[in-house]
């Protein structure tokens, strides 16, 4: 089957070679057995860097936004001998790219500001959402459920970051009995789903989209340049042939952060 991954992999390989210094690029995982690829597969790549070569991940991501497609979500991980970028673009293409260093180099990390913490959390949320859909597409309800509950937690993380900013500290002996809208969304789902409660995939989808709408509201309130992404997530759902969400609409337009 001619899957999108084959052409997309070649395109990404060319871009990376043009954007940073590389020693070699190789494919891993299902890319080594193209007959196993399906619509839920991502592109796994190892990028080997020459000695004494480093780069800024955020700079690379920004360049990919311009030359590949707008970014839907991503997460990064820094290790002693490699950096990992897991990224999903708005066209649905997903990559898991390991940048492997020939030797240990000094990696200068900029201190995280409130704005960068918000941006990191928002992009992590949407990348995990794309992963959860892929897991559902392969009938892995356990991992999908784990991931969608993490999405709920990330909406609360955004609220905690905003509280820290307002109070000027991340140490709070007592709270202010804050409202937590995602909790209300989950309780509403429990009362409105009816028969869907007996269908695990439907329940996971409903929770995912309740969290997605909540994240859109919060992120838009905190960042004027932010554009909502729930509709894009829904296009991914359709592409994976998954059931439509049936979450209540009452909390969608709430502006409470």
Tokens of 28: 């891993």
Q: What was the pLDDT predicted at 198?
A: 60
Based on the fold, state whether residues 204 and 181 are members of the same structural domain.
yes
Q: What was the pLDDT predicted at 194?
A: 47
In a domain, 251, yes or no: no
In a domain, 246, yes or no: no
Q: How many domains does the chain have?
A: 2
Q: What letters, b where the CB count within 10 A reaches 16 and e where it falls short, cover 43-73?
A: bbbebbbeeebeeebeebbeebeeebbebbb
Q: What was the pLDDT predicted at 257?
A: 53
99: pLDDT strictly greater than 70: yes
β-bridge mates for residue 101, sequence order: 49
Based on the fold, state whether residues 9 and 77 are members of the same structural domain.
yes
In a domain, 249, yes or no: no
We report the CATH number of the domain holding residue 46 as 3.30.460.10
Based on the fold, state whether residues 118 and 92 are members of the same structural domain.
no
**Residue 196: band (very low, low, confident or very high) from pLDDT cuts 50, 70, 90:** very low
Strand-pair category, 43-49 with 94-101? parallel
Render pLDDT for 210-237 as a digit per residue (tens, 0 to 9).
999 999 999 999 999 999 999 999 999 9
Based on the fold, state whether residues 89 and 128 are members of the same structural domain.
no
In a domain, 71, yes or no: yes
Q: Which domain holds residue 185?
A: 114-239
Based on the fold, state whether residues 91 and 154 are members of the same structural domain.
no
Among 78, 101, 124, the domain boundary falls at 101
Based on the fold, state whether residues 129 and 92 are members of the same structural domain.
no
3-class SS string, 116-178: HHHHHHHHHHHHHHHHHHHHHHCCCHHHHHHHHHHHHHHHHHHHHHHHHHHHCCCCCCCCCCC
Based on the fold, state whether residues 55 and 94 are members of the same structural domain.
yes
Based on the fold, state whether residues 36 and 136 are members of the same structural domain.
no
Based on the fold, state whether residues 8 and 85 are members of the same structural domain.
yes
Based on the fold, state whether residues 120 and 227 are members of the same structural domain.
yes
In a domain, 248, yes or no: no
In a domain, 225, yes or no: yes
Residue of 246 and 59 predicted with greater confidence: 59
Please state, rounded to an integer, the average pLDDT across all residues of the chain.
Answer: 87
**Cβ contact 71:123 at 8 Å:** yes
The whole model's pTM is what? 0.88
């Amino acid at each position: 089957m001619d899957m999108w991954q084959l052409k997309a992999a070649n395109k990404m390989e060319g871009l990376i070679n043009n954007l940073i210094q590389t020693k070699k690029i190789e494919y891993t995982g299902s890319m080594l057995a193209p007959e196993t690829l399906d619509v839920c597969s991502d592109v796994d790549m190892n990028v080997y860097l020459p000695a004494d070569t480093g780069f800024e991940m955020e700079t690379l991501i920004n360049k990919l936004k311009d030359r590949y497609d707008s970014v839907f979500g991503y997460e990064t991980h820094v290790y002693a001998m490699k950096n990992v970028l897991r990224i999903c673009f708005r066209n649905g293409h997903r990559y898991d790219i390991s940048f492997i260093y020939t030797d240990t180099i000094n990696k200068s990390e900029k201190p995280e500001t409130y704005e960068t913490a918000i941006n990191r959390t928002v992009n992590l949320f949407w990348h995990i959402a794309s992963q959860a859909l892929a897991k559902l597409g392969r009938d892995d309800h356990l991992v999908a459920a784990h991931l969608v509950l993490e999405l709920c937690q990330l909406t609360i993380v955004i609220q905690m970051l905003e509280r820290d900013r307002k109070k000027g500290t991340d140490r709070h002996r007592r709270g202010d009995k804050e409202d937590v809208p995602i909790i209300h969304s989950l309780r509403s789902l429990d009362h409105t789903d009816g028969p869907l409660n007996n269908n695990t995939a439907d329940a996971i989808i409903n929770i995912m989209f309740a969290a997605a709408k909540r994240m859109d509201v919060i992120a838009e309130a905190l960042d004027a340049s932010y554009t909502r992404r729930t509709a894009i997530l829904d296009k991914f759902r359709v592409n994976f042939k998954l059931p439509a969400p049936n979450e209540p609409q009452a909390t969608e337009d709430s502006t409470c952060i």
